[in-house]
Amino acid sequence: MKSIYFAHFVAPRGLKEPQKSHRINNEIKVPEVRVIDAEGEMLGVMKTRDAIKLAEQKELDLVEVAPKAEPPVCKIIDFGKFAYELQKKDKLQKRNQVQQQMKEVRFKWRTDTHDFNFKARHARAFLEEGNKVKASVMFRGREITHQEIGKELLMRFIEELQDIAKVDVMPKMEGRNLSVILSPDVTKVKKKK
Q: Indicate whether 81 and 129 sit together in one domain.
A: no
pLDDT at residue 119 is higher than 90: yes
Q: Rounded distance, CA 104 to CA 122, Å?
A: 10
**What mean pLDDT value characterizes the chain?**
84
pLDDT at residue 192 is higher than 60: no
pTM exceeds 0.75, yes or no: no
pLDDT at residue 18 is higher than 80: no
Q: Residue 74: which CATH number?
A: 3.10.20.80
Cα dist from 114 to 89, 110, 117, 121, whole Å: 48, 12, 5, 11
Q: Indicate whether 112 and 188 sit together in one domain.
A: yes
Tell me if 8 is assigned to some domain.
no
The number of domains in the chain is 2
The residue among 123 and 94 whose pLDDT is bigger is: 123
Tell me if 28 is assigned to some domain.
yes
Query: What is the identity of the amino acid at 149?
Result: I
pLDDT at 124: 92
Tell me if 96 is assigned to some domain.
no
pLDDT at residue 14 is higher than 60: no
Q: Residue 108: which CATH number?
A: 3.30.110.10
Phi-psi region of 36 (alpha: psi -120 to 50; beta: other; left: phi over 0): beta
Q: Identify the domain boundary among 45, 60, 88.
A: 88
pLDDT at 8: 54
Q: Rounded distance, CA 79 to CA 63, Å?
A: 7
Q: Indicate whether 60 and 27 sit together in one domain.
A: yes
Tell me if 77 is assigned to some domain.
yes
Q: Which domain holds residue 32?
A: 20-88
pLDDT at 98: 61
